Amino acid sequence: MPAIVIVGAQWGDEGKGKIVDIYTEHADMVVRFGGGPNAGHTLVVGNDKLVVRLVPSGILRAETMCVLAQGMVIDPRSLVTELDELERRGIHTKGRLLVSDRAHVILPYHVLVDGLREKGKDAIGTTKRGVGPCYEDKVARRGIPLGAFRDPKRLRELVARALSDWTPIIQHLGGGEVPVPSVDETLAAIEEARGRIVPMLVDSQALVERTVRAKKRVVLEGAQGTLLDVDHGTYPFVTSSTPTAGGACVGAGIGPTRIDEVVGLVKAYTTRVGGGPFPTELHDDVGERIRKIGAEFGSVTGRPRRTGWLDLPALRYAVRVNGLDALAITKLDVLTGLDEVKVCVAYETKNGRSEDVPMDELDTVKPVYQSFPGWKEQLGAARAMADLPKAARTYLEFVEKQAECPYILVSVGPARDETIVLRDPFAL
């Protein structure tokens, strides 16, 4: 009974919410192992749409235990807002949503700093949710684990210490005109949320590891995507954590030998939100059409997502960095109606053609495209490969071969059933 890791193979928003929701129908536990409220994972059931940021995408399955593991950074106010929204929709979380006492707390000063930096010349287009500054605190060993919520005196000391380090930075970034929040204000802002979160705190590492050891079905849900990884992404235009598969082990606290399968999610084209290189970006009507038909607007910030063709060197890179066993390809339906569909097979670089990703010069490479005939048929009703038009199959087959990784699933619409399932992920 396997532990499956699901990661984004591009720059995020590949459809992780939908696929994790499908997988967790038969899962005992779903674990978010990294990131924070920068994520926005969309779940569609019937006419209902729910976007979760911190809560794992297994939450709609009443029998599934949901865990926010210690690799995450958690804004207490965002978490309770999300819990209230779930409750309002009749989705009960009591007793089945547990939070690591070693995940780190995002406090108002992290959000403030993130926002101030984004006003400056070094802005990279973050989600301004305080995620980067919170991870900075963790690595600088002045962060605040959620466990401190159990001890208000310790919490106050930790906040005072971190704030004394942030104060000169806030003064500098704000030109002396932005008030620095006091310790009292900071604590007051989270007091109500603190009381509600304490009963949910657990040693998530022990819990997850025990569940995996008991051979239960565990889904480790990634956030963001491979090219946003702080080590392996388009640095510095990245998030401050490890969304790649290795991050699942670190963030959840289980060893690599406990993982049975790693599934990578890839859109049938590419999107990116925020700044940074994007070799296959389209600035024309086709890009606009993909944005419109694919509803490519940030689920957290509402920002229009940049759109472009699928990038095979980047996909092969993601297959290698994550050690992917299988690919789930999403949003194939969005390409319906185009006369031709292009895919980047290599880059022209200043040193010649490259089929790898020259990360250091990604902003200057030129994509080399191969073109495929488009198709006109709507794909939402397809439940088997044979239901797809020949042109769509030809495109898929080419991508699979070039990616050197087999498909496990093809998604042809946002709803649960708009999916071609090629193999049961748990039947390992």
183-197 and 152-173 helices cross at what angle (nearest 10)? Answer: 130
Q: In the 8-state DSSP scheme, what is residue 236?
A: T
Q: Which stretch binds Mg ion (CB under 5 A): 185-193, 299-307, 316-324, 348-356?
A: 299-307
Which residues in the 278-307 window bind ligand GDP by CB under 6 A? 295, 299
Q: In the 8-state DSSP scheme, what is residue 145?
A: B
41 is catalytic: yes
Q: In the 8-state DSSP scheme, what is residue 11?
A: S
Q: In the bound complex, what is the minimum distance in angstroms from residue 282's beta carbon to Mg ion?
A: 20
The reply on whether position 421 binds ligand GDP by CB under 6 A is no
The reply on whether position 40 binds Mg ion by CB under 5 A is yes
Q: Which stretch binds ligand GDP (CB under 6 A): 10-18, 82-90, 196-204, 312-320?
A: 10-18
**Block residue for tokens 């439940």:** 383
Binds ligand GDP (CB under 6 A): choice among 69, 330, 335, 405 = 330
Q: Could you tell me which residues come within 8 angstroms of residue 387 by beta carbon, excluding any fewer than 6 positions away?
A: 381, 420
92 is catalytic: no
Contact 266, 314 (CB under 8 A): no
Return the structure tokens found at 169: 């930075």
Contact 310, 268 (CB under 8 A): yes
Q: Could you tell me which residues come within 8 angstroms of residue 283 by beta carbon, excluding any fewer than 6 positions away?
A: none
Q: Which stretch binds ligand GDP (CB under 6 A): 8-16, 97-105, 110-118, 205-213?
A: 8-16
Q: Which stretch binds ligand IMO (CB under 6 A): 167-175, 201-209, 219-227, 403-411?
A: 219-227
Q: Is 350 left (phi over 0), alpha (psi -120 to 50) or beta?
A: alpha
Binds ligand IMO (CB under 6 A): choice among 39, 60, 197, 310 = 39
Residue 111 and residue 184: Cα distance in Å, rounded?
Answer: 17
**What's the first-to-final CA gap in the chain, in angstroms?**
7
Binds ligand GDP (CB under 6 A): choice among 6, 209, 333, 344 = 333
Residue 104 interacting partner from ligand GDP, ligand IMO, Mg ion, none (CB closer than 5 to 8 Å by kind): none
Residue 239 interacting partner from ligand GDP, ligand IMO, Mg ion, none (CB closer than 5 to 8 Å by kind): ligand IMO
Residue 286 and residue 395: Cα distance in Å, rounded?
Answer: 17
Q: Residues in the site for Mg ion, rule: CB under 5 A? A: 13, 40, 299
Q: Residues in the site for ligand GDP, rule: CB under 6 A? A: 8, 12-18, 40-42, 44, 295, 299, 330-331, 333-334, 411-414
Q: Residues in the site for ligand IMO, rule: CB under 6 A? A: 8, 11-13, 38-41, 124-127, 129, 131-132, 223-225, 228, 237, 239-240, 273-274
Q: Mind telling me the catalytic residues?
A: 13, 41
